[in-house]
Structures are given as C-alpha cells and as structure tokens.
Chains A and B, each alone.
Chain A
Amino acid sequence: MALVKLRNVSKIYHLGGEEIRALDDVSLDIQAGEFISIIGPSGSGKSTLMHILGCLDTPTRGTIQLDGVMIHDASSRQLAGIRNQKIGFVFQFFNLLPKLSVLQNVELPMVYSGLPNRERKNRALDALKLVGLENRSKHRPLQLSGGQQQRVAIARALVNNPKIVFADEPTGNLDSHTGHAILELFRKLSQEGRTIALVTHDPDIAAVTPRRIEIRDGKIAKQLDPKLAGLCPV
C-alpha cells in the first residue's frame, strides 16, 4: 500500500472575489522508500502541494491518506502530532533557532513529543553523527557554514524517524559545491531506505531523483516514473 495517497485534491484560495486554484484535482501516490522530486516554476502550486502533503495545510477538496490514516479533515492538534511524528521538514533558509545550540535544535522535535531528557540527547547525537556534525553539537547555528546548517536541519528532520522527509529547495541558499554535497546526503539517506521528497524549481536538482513530478498551474503536467517508464508520459 502506498505511503501517501492523494485523491482529487484541490486547494482553492479566494483573493478579492477571484478564485485561485492553487491545486486542481491532483491525485498522487508515493510509495515507502521512494526518492521523488516535485518540480515546477514559482506559482505553479508545488509549494501548496508540499504544504498539504506535509500536513501544514488542509485541502479544500479531496482526500489524503498518510501511512494509512486519513488526514484531510484532521484537527490542527492532530496535524501537529502527525508533523511531529511522521514528517520531517528541510527548508531553503535552514530555519534553525539561532538562540539554541545545534544539539538543542535537533532535540526540539522530541521536546514536543515529550521524550525524556537523556533519550532526547542520545537520539539527537545519533542524528548529528548521521550528517557528520557530532563534533559541532555545542555550537550556535550562526557559527556554522550554510552547508553545515542545512545538515543540522536534516538531522532535525530525521531525529523522530519520520515516514517521509520534505525538502523545500534545500540547496537554494547554498553554493553549487555544498549544494551537491547536500544532494549527495539525501541520496545516501534514500539508499538507507528513507522516503524523501525534494521540492525544487531546478530540473538539474530534480535529476538526482529517479521519479519526478512536474507541476504546472496546479496540475500534474508530467510524470517520470522509472517503473512505468515509457508507458505513462501523462
């Protein structure tokens, strides 16, 4: 069974009487362990799609199933719990809390899931080891380079062992060299069996993922799926 199941999802905004369809009748499945990218120019609706997939937003119409649970009409409290337990986010601007140390930043998701102190620390250190920054745990985020900050953000996204990680333009704020290193890290994580969705406007970045979904005007315009290669250009 698919990890994520989107069926006929629409998101409609009303802006001064005008109806804007940010997402228009989108259906999509993501299998566990997949490494996919969602591509599209700005304004295409890819961010909206990611927000809905990431439980930050709810669709106007349609149904979403995540890990066997229907979430399209969940309460904000339930969504917060799902974000905490099943989803990891990596953002373009890293979004680390500057006043907390690297370790505390990584611990933060576990603070909200109510884990005891000692376990929080152990798991955060493990996650930092995974991204190669275990010796930077006492530093503040601003004392690190951009690439290192993004690694911390990835460690934070992974620390609660989420079902799926969303990365929104994770290399957008990095030079191409560090950007490639980050993409390499994602590829490695994917090979370890994690489900990762990259959201980007750059086809070169999307090229690292086997499966690519192109969004245009709120609809899936093109889909490249290695399993269905050649059969389904959509």
Chain B
Amino acid sequence: MDILNAISIGFKEIWAHKFRSLLTMLGIILGVSSLVAMSALVKGMENGMKEALIAIGGLEKVRVEEQDIPAHQRHLEDQAVGCTVHDVYALRRSAPLIKLVAPEMRVSPGGGWGGRSSTLITHGTRTLRERANLIGTWPSALEMNQHVLEHGRMFNEIDDENAWNVCVIGTSIRDQLFGSPEEVGQEIVPIGEYININNQPFRVIGLFQHYEGEQERKLRELEKDQPKQVQTGPERRRGWGSSRGGQNSWVYSMKNSTIYIPLNTMWIKFRSGGSGTNSIPDPRLSSLYIKVADIEMLEPALQQAKNVMMHTHKGIEDFSFQTQENWSENITTAIRNARMSGGFIAAISLLVGGIGIMNIMLASITERIREIGIRKAIGATHVDVFIQILIESVVIALIGGLAGLVTSYGLVNVLTVLSPTENTPVITVNSMALAFAFSALVGVLAGLVPAFKAAKLDPIQALRYE
C-alpha cells in the first residue's frame, strides 16, 4: 500500500469523526500555538533588551572609573591626578586596540547627573524642570554613545579649541525649553536659538533624534490618534520613576535629556568657579569612555589601556574599567530563563495533546478491529496496517499543528491585550518550523503504540470480533 493511499484513508477517518478529531487536535493546536506565542514573547523581550544595550553604546563601550587607591599605594595619594584629558590623548596615541576615546566632564566633579540645583538652564521664560545630562565632551561622543543628529551638526574640534558656547541637545531638552511637538502642533527645530546655561548663553547648533523603545513608539503613535487628555486640577507631573515605558526606558530618557557642549567650554566656563576668578580650573574628567575596536579583543584592549594609563598616572592605580558585560550576561540569562519556563509549559501542552491523540487512536483501532481483520485477510501485511495507523495519527497531529500556527497569531494578540509588555512579540519562522516539527514528532510518538497494537492483531480473532 502506498503512502498517498494511507494519507487519504487518514483524512477519511478524520472526516468521518469530525468532532472527535477536532477535540483531539485541540491539544496539539494549543500546544503549537503556545510554543509559537511563547517564543514570540521571548523574542520580543530579547529584541527590546538588545535594543537598549545598543542604544547605550553596545558591548564595546567601556567606562573608565575613578577608584580608591589600593592600600599599598595609599602614601602616594597626593600624587594621584585622577583621569584628565592627558589620559585621553595618551590613549588615542598609544592604544591601537582602542578605536574611540571620549572624555566627559560634568558641572560638579564626581556628580552624577547634572542636578537642577546646581545648573539652571533656561530659554526665555521657560526653565528646564527635569534633570539634564549636561556634559562637556569631544565630538567623538557622538559615535561613542550612538547618538544620531536629526538637525544641525555636532560641534567640532575648532569649537572645542576655542571653547565656544555651542551646544547639541536632545529632544527632551527641546520639548521643555521650546515646546514639544504634541504641545505646539509642529516640530520646533531650535537650531540657531540661544539657551542659557547658568546664565551663559549657548547657541544650539544640533538636535539629536528622538530615542525611544518600540513600545514607547507604539504608545506615541496610539496617542496621536486620540484627543489629548484634558488635565484637571493643579498642574502635576508624574515622577519619572513611573514614566511610561518599561524597565529599559531609562536608557532612552537619559539619552533624550542630553546636552553636549565642548569639553574646553565646560572646563573654562563652569569649572573655574563660575565668575572668572584666578583659581586654576579642576582638570579632572568626570568619566572617560573608551570603545574597543573588536569585542573579541576586549581583554587585550583593556590591558593595553591599563598600561597606557598606568604610565600617565605615574604608576598609581586610581582607575578601573567597567564593561557592559554584566548587562549582556543578564540579558542572556533572562532570555534563557524565559525560554526554559515558556518552553516547558508549551512542551507539557504538546505532550498532553500527544496523549489525546494516542487515546483516540487506541479507541479508533478498537472500533475498527473488524476492519483491520478484513484488510489483513485480503492481504494487508503487519507493516501496511502499522503505517496506516501511524499515518492517521500523524495526519491528525499535522492538521492540528497547522491550525496551531494559524491560532498562534490570535493567541499572541490575545496575550498582548491581556498583559501588555514593553516589547512587541515577534513570531519567528524558526519557532513556527520548530513547533510544526514538534507536532509531527508528537504525532509519530502518539501513533506508535496504537499502530503496533493494530499491526499485531490476529486476523482470525479480528474477523470474529463483534
């Protein structure tokens, strides 16, 4: 008996018991669709996390941090200079494994984000309410932090050399000082405008693009279509801890509230005590970022950077390196855990589906003992009967698998509605192929026992069976 014939018999059997077959398939449908949906959710999560990691500069970006001097060098503490612009030049000159160096200087040494208390940023009557990320840096920061200019230009070496009062700002700064597109109804490009930073006028020469995760983008597009909510009562802002978006959104909001000014401008205008006294400005950098040329060469590159900096620091080890490896590892672990638990649940439902198929096939062959006896009497071999039953089981599983793939689209939508996540689930072809292959495997495994039972039926007994 040929396979095509067995397949057509399989379809006939399924068609003859439509409702029963549908119930049986339901297990496989749910198993396949939950497998696909689960992997779509995990894929979405992975994409969001990777997007955030790339937005912050990727794995290649390493932060050089100041560190307490080790105990055996404590007596040299007054010799320690900290990270200065000399390190930057030395690294650029003598560390070929490092592609990019970007110094960062903030208003107050050692301070984290430029706080509102120390920096006053205004434009006309508007004042910056939220924290700004005011940084004096080099043009290389653009590439280092994966910034993209939407309008205008980045300041260049000449701006830096002359310590001109120019700045490049993020959209969040623009929104607060000039009005956001949602507020004004059109996008304001403030190139050429002046903003005041601690009462010093700075010309805006560039505007970064708006950075956002996928979920935020979707939310924004959704809000566009809806009328703006009328705010009642006193004006209030929500704390930024509860800002919309998910766990990775701080990456984007931090990038959006960036103000870059040239390093020298920062040093001369803000570090010198403000009002032009004769005190020597503090030359120390707040932080220093390096980007290695090749992530595979991270270890030797860091060693090289260390050697160079040990030289400029006169042998005092008052610095350390902080990589994004931890973050990357966290992503990998989180993804693996999600995949394991989701895969486990989906595997259980596929298993249940398989048990359902086995059950129904056993019932089916009991009903058809006489038929099997007739087939054997007129010349069906063990193998013929075995293959026939096995193919029926596989056909049920494959139809269920196909239906499950279709259902998975719906299931993903239902899941997104029931529990919105920050990332769009992504249904991948791989997961669909995997789920379908699993349904076929389940069909084969579930059919083995019934097929074997049917094949070894004695034709005489089977013909006598009432």
Q: Which of A71-93 contact B (CB under 8 A)?
A: 76-77, 80-81, 83-85, 89, 91
How many residue-residue contacts, CB under 8 A, span A and B? Answer: 58
Q: Please report the total number of A residues contacting B with Cβ < 8 Å.
A: 25
Bound complex: CA of A16 vs CA of B460, how far in Å?
20
Is the CB–CB distance between B378 and A114 below 8 Å? no
Is the CB–CB distance between A57 and B381 below 8 Å? no
Is the CB–CB distance between A76 and B379 below 8 Å? no
Kindly supply a per-residue 1/0 record for chain B positions 366-387, scoring 1 wherever the CB is within 8 Å of any chain A CB and 0 otherwise: 0000110111111111111000
Is the CB–CB distance between A57 and B378 below 8 Å? no
Bound complex: CA of A81 vs CA of B381, how far in Å?
8
B384 to chain A, nearest CB (A): 6
A160 to chain B, nearest CB (A): 8
Is the CB–CB distance between A76 and B381 below 8 Å? yes
Q: A177 within 8 Å of B by Cβ? A: no
B206: A residues at CB distance < 8 A:
none
A160: B residues at CB distance < 8 A:
379
Q: Please report the total number of B residues contacting A with Cβ < 8 Å.
A: 22
Is the CB–CB distance between A113 and B463 below 8 Å? no
Is the CB–CB distance between B381 and A89 below 8 Å? no
Is the CB–CB distance between A84 and B379 below 8 Å? yes
Partner of A99, one of B5, B12, B379, B382: B12
Q: Which of A99-129 contact B (CB under 8 A)?
A: 99, 108-109, 111-114
Is the CB–CB distance between A111 and B460 below 8 Å? no
Q: B363 within 8 Å of A by Cβ? A: no
Bound complex: CA of A146 vs CA of B377, how far in Å?
21
A28: B residues at CB distance < 8 A:
none
Q: B16 within 8 Å of A by Cβ? A: yes
**Nearest A residue to B466, CB-CB:** A93
B264 to chain A, nearest CB (A): 88
B371: A residues at CB distance < 8 A:
97
Bound complex: CA of A95 vs CA of B369, how far in Å?
12
A132 to chain B, nearest CB (A): 22
A97: B residues at CB distance < 8 A:
371, 374-375
**Nearest A residue to B373, CB-CB:** A95
Is the CB–CB distance between A95 and B463 below 8 Å? yes
Is the CB–CB distance between A156 and B379 below 8 Å? no
Bound complex: CA of A99 vs CA of B15, how far in Å?
11
Is the CB–CB distance between B374 and A113 below 8 Å? no
Q: B329 within 8 Å of A by Cβ? A: no
Partner of B378, one of A51, A83, A99: A83
B459 to chain A, nearest CB (A): 5
A83: B residues at CB distance < 8 A:
376-379
B434: A residues at CB distance < 8 A:
none
Is the CB–CB distance between A112 and B374 below 8 Å? no
Kindly supply a per-residue 1/0 record for chain B positions 357-370, scoring 1 wherever the CB is within 8 Å of any chain A CB and 0 otherwise: 00000000000001
B5 to chain A, nearest CB (A): 6
Is the CB–CB distance between B376 and A80 below 8 Å? yes
Is the CB–CB distance between B459 and A56 below 8 Å? yes
Is the CB–CB distance between A108 and B463 below 8 Å? no
Is the CB–CB distance between B1 and A112 below 8 Å? yes
Bound complex: CA of A54 vs CA of B5, how far in Å?
26
Bound complex: CA of A81 vs CA of B378, how far in Å?
9
B183: A residues at CB distance < 8 A:
none
Is the CB–CB distance between B460 and A51 below 8 Å? yes
A97-B371, A99-B16 known; A84 vs B378 contact (CB < 8 Å) = yes
Partner of A156, one of B2, B5, B378: B378
- Extra contacts, 8 of them, besides A81-B381, A112-B381 (Cβ < 8 A), are A76-B382, A77-B383, A84-B378, A85-B379, A95-B373, A95-B377, A97-B374, A112-B378
Could you list 20 A-B pairs, sorted by A, with CB under 8 Å?
A57-B460, A76-B382, A77-B381, A77-B382, A80-B379, A80-B381, A80-B382, A81-B379, A81-B381, A83-B379, A84-B378, A89-B378, A95-B370, A95-B463, A96-B374, A97-B371, A97-B375, A109-B379, A112-B379, A114-B1
- Name A residues whose Cβ lies closer than 8 Å to a Cβ of B: 51, 54, 56-57, 76-77, 80-81, 83-85, 89, 91, 95-97, 99, 108-109, 111-114, 156, 160
